[in-house]
């Protein structure tokens, strides 16, 4: 994956690609939310129905490797307030970590895979069941 083109320079010729990608990510997100409904013993469309009117967005961030990471202030530990985050990492991404048993574990990148982050909405509504 090349990162030589800044997102703000993407021309209209790439609009179809972005719209198709966004549509597929939305479809995956909707399938995941429907699956969570079933896992909770609800009808398949209950949680999805609660999300139909919410704003959905597509954001692309790229953080290149830093030659002096000790001089950089990154994000502090935080929770994601959304229901689900569907992310795509490139093969060089190594900064995303999860908190597990009091420590931090880096998330291994799997080429072609999506990273699914369960946000606070699901954690709170399931009493940390999922």
Q: What are phi and psi of 80, to 5 degrees?
A: -95, 125
CATH code of the domain covering residue 78? 2.60.120.330
In a domain, 2, yes or no: no
What predicted TM-score, i.e. pTM, was given to this entire model? 0.65
Q: pLDDT band at 15, cuts 50/70/90?
A: confident
Query: Quick count: other Cβ atoms within 10 Å of Cβ 117?
Result: 15
CA dist 127 and 27 (Å) reads 26
Q: Are 72 and 111 in contact (CB under 8 A)?
A: no
Domain enclosing residue 99, as ranges: 7-125
Q: How many folded domains does the chain comprise?
A: 1
pLDDT digits (tens, 9 = 90+) for 71-83: 766 666 666 666 7
Residue 94 pLDDT grade (very low, low, confident, very high; cuts 50, 70, 90): low
């Amino acid at each position: 994956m090349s990162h030589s083109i800044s997102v703000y320079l993407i021309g209209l010729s790439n609009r179809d690609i972005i719209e198709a990608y966004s549509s597929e990510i939305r479809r995956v997100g909707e399938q995941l939310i429907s699956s969570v409904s079933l896992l909770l013993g609800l009808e398949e469309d209950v949680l999805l129905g609660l999300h139909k009117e919410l704003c959905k967005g597509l954001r692309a961030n790229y953080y290149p490797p830093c030659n002096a990471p000790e001089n950089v202030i990154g994000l502090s530990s935080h929770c994601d307030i959304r229901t689900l985050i569907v992310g795509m990492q490139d093969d060089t991404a190594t900064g995303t970590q999860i908190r597990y048993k009091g420590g931090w574990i880096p998330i291994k990148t799997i080429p072609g895979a999506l990273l699914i982050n369960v946000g606070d909405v699901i954690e709170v509504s399931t009493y940390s069941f999922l």
